[in-house]
């Protein structure tokens, strides 16, 4: 039996094509991936992301626990700020990538990937028990939150119609607790599209009401419901990592291009020793963005070649709706990672030309 | 969903139009709708021999890669030159502008084995 979000019936009423996404019955598209993708880039889109997990950390030792658990420096966070981070195993592979919300020094909330909720919670419990962090309580609150992402250049104008909160006050990667359509919500200026906008967390009972209110408020601006198909093409155009593709227990954050969140100068965190060693010895593989120079659509797991020799593998690929050309991410030998390097992608029986490209593939607006 | 009466259909969701020993082949309205936005089409070269039931080309949507199978055996005598640049024709006009290849039949009887519109519609409804 697939898990359902509180908006399952709403999606079906809108004619969404539903698919099994990591054990959740989720909309992959409503009217078409390309149309939905372009709506987010040019106007606005509304995503049901209630399948994502929320894990709360509270108590006196919360900050110390988070510093040990995650690779980014939680000391940089102030109240009301969000941080992109990751949890690693001792060998440096990734447990999950997360966003971390700081309410105060003793109160944090993790947003984690849907398919990893149970695994992440078990890992956090293990770290908590072994680490001797006094006075920390962990709660898996995933069932207590619905989550919507309102993304796109019109997102501010649309959301402003439903809230008295001064959205101009909420900086990128910051949040505010306010009312949206009369519903208490965490209003967070975050997202996974590079198109700007907000993510909203609130009680599941209010999900349909808020979903309908947002769609109505944004109709004149071209707001449309957007499925997971376009969520994937949008994030790929930004080179945002997707767990299970660009990140996994077999891929370190240094290889995945997340050195910018991996604070090796922090005195201690799980995985630090392995990552320091990897950096000293030389990072063997790098995540690169590439653009096809010949017709073809790259897909995950296709081999990457250079001069006829296999040098890596595609982790994600698609036809970019914005650029109308095949784009992808690949883990390749570090020597083949420089922008401008010519590669070939093994697409069925052909070797099709590609070139390592600057990323993000499209200009960011957030 | 359209099921034109003058066409024959396969269980792999290709359609066939027979005219003077040459068949035109494409994928059905049902197939294009299931695939979603078509973004890439790979076709054989003119002169290629194709065999009934074997893949002759590929249609890719944003999310998926699908083989297209030859409904009949024969020689490819023409390919739709518009598809590489405008693959979305398969979505917008699956039975006309979105045709894929024309095959000169080597075994004319093969067309008789395909489903007619009524049979195909019943087949789709069961899927």
What are the pLDDT digits (tens) for A165-209? 999 999 999 999 999 999 999 999 999 999 999 999 999 999 999
pLDDT for A132 equals 84
Last residue of a domain, one of A100, A125, A140: A140
Last residue of a domain, one of A125, A140, A155: A140
Residue of B nearest to A324 (CA): B39
Q: In whole numbers, what is the pLDDT of chain A averaged over residues?
A: 97
If contacts are CB pairs under 8 Å, which of residues 216-255 in chain A contact chain B? Answer: 229, 232-233
Q: Cα(A351)–Cα(A308) distance, rounded to whole angstroms?
A: 9
Residue A263 lies in a domain: no
A153, A228: one domain: yes
pLDDT for B108 equals 85
Answer whether A321 touches B (CB < 8 Å). Answer: yes
Q: Looking at CA atoms only, how far is residue B60 from chain A in angstroms? A: 8
A161, A190: one domain: yes
Find where tokens 């259909």 sit: B9
Q: Contact at 8 Å (CB) between B36 and B17?
A: no
Q: How many domains does chain A have?
A: 3
Which of B36, B40, B58 lies nearest to residue A32, judging by beta carbons?
A: B36
Residue A284 φ/ψ, nearest 5 degrees: -70, -35
Tokens of B54: 């074997």
pLDDT for A1 equals 87
pLDDT tens per residue across span A293-350: 999 999 999 999 999 999 999 999 999 999 999 999 999 999 999 999 999 999 999 9
A57, A46: one domain: no
In this predicted structure, the answer to whether residue A366 has a pLDDT above a threshold of 60 is no
In this predicted structure, the answer to whether residue A364 has a pLDDT above a threshold of 80 is no
pLDDT tens per residue across span A216-235: 999 999 999 999 999 999 99
Residue of A nearest to B39 (CA): A319
pLDDT tens per residue across span B32-62: 999 999 999 999 999 999 999 999 999 999 9
Residue A127 lies in a domain: yes
A291, A229: one domain: no
CB contact under 8 A, B39 and A299: no
Answer whether B96 touches A (CB < 8 Å). Answer: no
Domain boundaries, chain B: 8-108
Q: Suggest the residue from A34, A39, A231, A352 to mutate for an interface test with chain B (most B CBs closer than 10 A).
A: A34
Tokens of A277: 């060693």
Q: Contact at 8 Å (CB) between A265 and A277?
A: no
Which of B36, B42, B62 lies nearest to residue A318, judging by beta carbons?
A: B62
Q: Which domain holds residue A225?
A: 3-50+145-236
Partners of A113 in the β-ladder = none
Which of B37, B58, B84 lies nearest to residue A32, judging by beta carbons?
A: B37
Q: Cα(A33)–Cα(A17) distance, rounded to whole angstroms?
A: 11
Q: pTM (2 decimals)?
A: 0.95
Q: Give me the helices (H) in A162-319, please.
A: 207-218, 228-237, 272-281
* CA angle in degrees (0–180, nearest 5) for B93-B96-B99: 95
Residue A247 lies in a domain: no
Q: Is B112 exposed, middle or buried (0-12, 13-18, 19+ CB in 10 A)?
A: exposed
A190, A160: one domain: yes
Q: Suggest the residue from B32, B39, B44, B91 to mutate for an interface test with chain A (most A CBs closer than 10 A).
A: B39
A133, A172: one domain: no
Residue A222 lies in a domain: yes
List, as one string, the DSSP characters of A19-69: EEETTEEEEEESS-HHHHHHHHHHSEEEEE-TTSEEEEEEETTHHHHHHHH
Q: Cα(A144)–Cα(A81) distance, rounded to whole angstroms?
A: 21
Q: Looking at CA atoms only, how far is residue A321 from chain B in angstroms? A: 9
A40, A66: one domain: no
CA distances from A249 to A33, A82, A97, A221 (A): 30, 24, 11, 42
User: What residues in A contact B65, CB-CB < 8 Å?
Assistant: 297, 299
Residue A365 lies in a domain: no
Residue A261 lies in a domain: no
Residue A332 lies in a domain: yes
A18, A156: one domain: yes
Fold entry, domain B8-108: OB fold (Dihydrolipoamide Acetyltransferase, E2P) (2.40.50)
pLDDT tens per residue across span B82-118: 999 999 999 999 999 999 999 999 998 899 999 999 9
Q: Report, as an integer, the average pLDDT of A44-69.
A: 97
Answer whether A316 touches B (CB < 8 Å). Answer: no
A232, A122: one domain: no
Question: Which has more pLDDT, A131 or B28?
Answer: B28
- B53: region left, alpha or beta (phi > 0 left; psi from -120 to 50 alpha): left
What CATH number has the domain bearing residue A122?
3.30.70.1400
Residue of A nearest to B34 (CA): A17
If contacts are CB pairs under 8 Å, which of residues 98-157 in chain A contact chain B? Answer: none
Q: Contact at 8 Å (CB) between A36 and A227?
A: yes
If contacts are CB pairs under 8 Å, which of residues 41-70 in chain B contact chain A? Answer: 42, 58, 60-63, 65
A45, A187: one domain: yes
Residue A302 lies in a domain: yes
Q: Looking at CA atoms only, how far is residue A265 from chain B in angstroms? A: 40
What CATH number has the domain bearing residue A231?
3.30.1360.120
Buried/exposed code over A92-122 (b: 16+ C-beta within 10 A; e: otherwise): bbbbbbbbbbbbeeeebbbbbbbbbbeebbe
A42, A170: one domain: yes
How many CB atoms lie under 10 A from the CB of residue A64?
Answer: 17
Q: Cα(B3)–Cα(B95) distance, rounded to whole angstroms?
A: 9
Answer whether A325 touches B (CB < 8 Å). Answer: no
Tokens of A87: 């949890």
pLDDT for B5 equals 96
Residue of B nearest to A228 (CA): B63
Q: Report, as an integer, the average pLDDT of A35-40.
A: 98
pLDDT tens per residue across span A253-264: 999 999 999 999
Last residue of a domain, one of A140, A160, A195: A140
Answer whether B33 touches A (CB < 8 Å). Answer: no
Tokens of A184: 């208490």
User: What residues in A contact B41, CB-CB < 8 Å?
Assistant: none
What CATH number has the domain bearing residue A353?
2.40.30.110
B42's CB contacts (< 8 A; 6+ apart) are A348, B57, B58, B59, B60
A319, A343: one domain: yes
């Amino acid at each position: 039996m697939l898990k359902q979000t509180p908006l399952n019936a709403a999606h079906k009423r809108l004619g969404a094509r539903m698919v099994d996404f990591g054990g959740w019955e989720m909309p992959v598209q409503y009217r078409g991936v390309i149309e939905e993708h372009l709506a987010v880039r040019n106007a606005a889109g509304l995503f049901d992301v209630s399948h994502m997990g929320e894990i709360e950390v509270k108590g006196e030792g919360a900050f110390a626990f988070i510093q040990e658990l995650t690779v980014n420096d939680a000391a940089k966070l102030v109240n009301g700020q969000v941080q992109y981070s990751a949890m690693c195993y001792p060998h440096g592979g990734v447990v999950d990538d997360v966003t971390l919300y700081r309410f105060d020094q003793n109160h944090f909330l993790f947003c984690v990937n849907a398919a990893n909720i149970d695994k992440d919670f078990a890992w956090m419990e293990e770290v908590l028990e072994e680490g001797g962090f006094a006075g920390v309580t962990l709660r898996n609150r995933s069932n207590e939150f619905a989550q919507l992402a309102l993304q796109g250049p019109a997102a501010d104008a649309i959301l402003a119609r439903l809230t008295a909160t001064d959205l101009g006050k909420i900086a990128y990667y910051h949040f505010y607790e306010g009312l949206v359509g009369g519903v208490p919500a965490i209003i967070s200026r975050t997202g996974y599209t590079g198109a700007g906008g907000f993510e909203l967390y609130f009680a599941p009972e209010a999900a349909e009401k808020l979903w309908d209110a947002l769609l109505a408020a944004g109709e004149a601006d071209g707001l449309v419901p957007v499925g997971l198909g376009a969520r994937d093409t949008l994030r790929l155009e930004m080179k945002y990592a997707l767990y299970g593709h660009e990140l996994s227990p077999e891929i370190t954050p240094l290889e995945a291009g997340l050195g910018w969140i991996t604070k090796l100068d922090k005195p201690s965190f799980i995985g630090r020793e392995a990552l320091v060693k990897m950096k000293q010895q030389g990072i063997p593989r790098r995540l690169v963005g590439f653009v096809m120079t010949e017709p073809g659509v790259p897909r995950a797991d296709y081999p990457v070649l250079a001069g006829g020799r296999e040098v890596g593998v595609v982790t994600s690929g698609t036809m970019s709706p914005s650029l109308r050309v095949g784009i992808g991410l690949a883990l390749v030998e570090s020597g083949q990672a420089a922008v401008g390097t010519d590669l070939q992608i093994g697409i069925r029986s052909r070797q099709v030309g590609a070139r390592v490209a600057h990323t993000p593939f499209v200009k960011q607006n957030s | 969903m359209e099921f034109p009466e003058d066409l024959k259909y396969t269980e792999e969701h290709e359609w066939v139009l027979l005219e003077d020993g040459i068949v035109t082949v494409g994928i059905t309205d049902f197939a294009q709708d299931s695939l979603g936005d078509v973004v890439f089409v790979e076709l054989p070269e003119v002169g290629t021999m194709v065999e009934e039931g074997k893949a002759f080309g590929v249609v890719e949507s944003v999310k998926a890669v699908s083989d297209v199978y030859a409904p009949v055996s024969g020689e490819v005598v023409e390919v739709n030159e518009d598809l590489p640049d405008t693959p979305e024709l398969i979505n917008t006009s699956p039975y006309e502008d979105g045709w894929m290849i024309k095959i000169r039949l080597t075994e004319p009887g093969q067309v008789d084995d395909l489903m007619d519109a009524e049979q195909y519609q019943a087949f789709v409804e069961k899927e």
